[in-house]
Amino acid sequence: MSYRRTKAVLIKELRHIVRDRRSLGLALAMPAMMLLLYGFALSLDVDHIPTLIFDRDGTSSSRTLARDFQGSRYFDVKAMVSDYRTVEKGIDRNAILLGVVIPRDFGKDLAAGRSADVQLLVDGSDSNTASIAIGYAESIVQNYSGAVRADLLNRKGVRVPPPPVVAQTRVWYNSSLQSKNFVVPGLIAVILMILTGQLTTLTIAREWEMGTMEQILSTPLRPAEMVLGKMLAYFLVGLVDAVLAFVSGVTVFAVPFRGSLLVLTVSTLVFLCGAMLWGIYISAGCRTQVAAYQMGMLSTFLPGFLLSGFVFSIDTMPKWIQVISIIVPSRYFVTILKALFLKGVGWAIIWPQIVYLIIFTTIVYLRAVRKLNQKVA
């Protein structure tokens, strides 16, 4: 491999990148734009649940329970209604997620020491959100029930015994329980996988389509030098994209960074090399830019969002899908970024993921060189 020939390819690609200012500006602005768009749009927090309350009892006890729902940040009580039909229409029209029905004789049963029922009508179209909403509602009802029970015992002069077991919760790494602290690091990994892969997907296919590949083949340039030179040119653009994405995550979304900058830098460099070499490998196997772009999107966008563990937990997927996800590099970079941002761990914990990224980068580089050799032959 010749350093001079590799440098010549690098300079040629850099000039092409700088000459196309629109594409360069878009490549630099796209990570921040996507991060802002998806970062504010994607939220796993379930709060301000639209709710209607149908109070059939109308006593002070039922009004107290209704005020508990109104005072909770998890529920947004739209109105107090007077019939079932209004609740049903609200659920049918997606205007509300939860309907709370307090039956007649609710306060009378509580005053007599009998158990009283509360009906929860939930839109189960989104099973995950519905389950969380039911949990929040049951928690409010249980707290209210405990307060009523304690008040009844106090009136009878009975000392309220302390609970036999008290659970003390301590939240590690994301003490505020904000989903953005979990979403943004994973989103950065997925965005970088998509964009950096797309940057190099069209490089070699463009040479074939524009008819300049024949001129390149007439030179002493070797396939390995072409692959490395083209990758290094776009690597600089990808590095700027990564810096912009990390700065946006820390400053705009206030995601805490507790890890080592050295570990972050090394893992990001290895990941960017692997992602860009993957794009070159796809480009080497396509003669048209359209085919290369489609293959690039298919192999980066879908695996990045679905098989990286960014949105869906890999452990809950079928076994055969878990096996497929092993070859997805963004899966390991998502793990690295979440560990660095939230947990502040170092080499001792994330070295297996970095080793995999190194292996992936090496294999893709060799495959790209071999594919280009086959095309040239």
Q: Judge if 133 and 24 occupy the same domain.
A: no
Q: Judge if 207 and 352 occupy the same domain.
A: yes
Q: Judge if 312 and 198 occupy the same domain.
A: yes
DSSP 118-161: -EEEE-TTSHHHHHHHHHHHHHHHHHHHHHHHHHHHHHTTPPPP
What's the whole-number mean pLDDT along residues 81-95? 88
pLDDT greater at residue 33 or residue 191: 191
Q: Would you state the structure tokens that stand for residue 295, as one six-digit string?
A: 């293959």
- Per-residue pLDDT, 333: 92
Residue 173 domain-assigned (yes or no): no
Q: Domain limits at 256?
A: 3-43+178-376
- Alpha carbon 329 to its chain centroid, in Å, reads 15
Task: State pLDDT tens for residues 118-163.
Answer: 899 998 887 888 888 898 998 898 888 888 887 777 776 767 677 7
Task: State pLDDT tens for residues 248-278.
Answer: 888 888 888 888 899 999 999 999 999 989 9
Task: State pLDDT tens for residues 304-319.
Answer: 888 888 877 888 888 8
Q: Judge if 146 and 205 occupy the same domain.
A: no
- Per-residue pLDDT, 214: 65
Task: State pLDDT tens for residues 214-251.
Answer: 677 667 777 777 888 888 888 888 888 888 889 888 88
End position of a domain, from candidates 155, 190, 222: 155
Residue 170 domain-assigned (yes or no): no
What's the whole-number mean pLDDT along residues 168-172? 82
Q: Would you state the structure tokens that stand for residue 287, as one six-digit string?
A: 């003669």
Q: Judge if 31 and 59 occupy the same domain.
A: no
Residue 171 domain-assigned (yes or no): no
Q: Is 114 exposed, middle or buried (0-12, 13-18, 19+ CB in 10 A)?
A: exposed
Q: Judge if 343 and 197 occupy the same domain.
A: yes
Give the predicted TM-score (pTM) of the model.
0.78
Q: In CATH, what number is assigned to the domain containing residue 126?
A: 3.40.1710.10
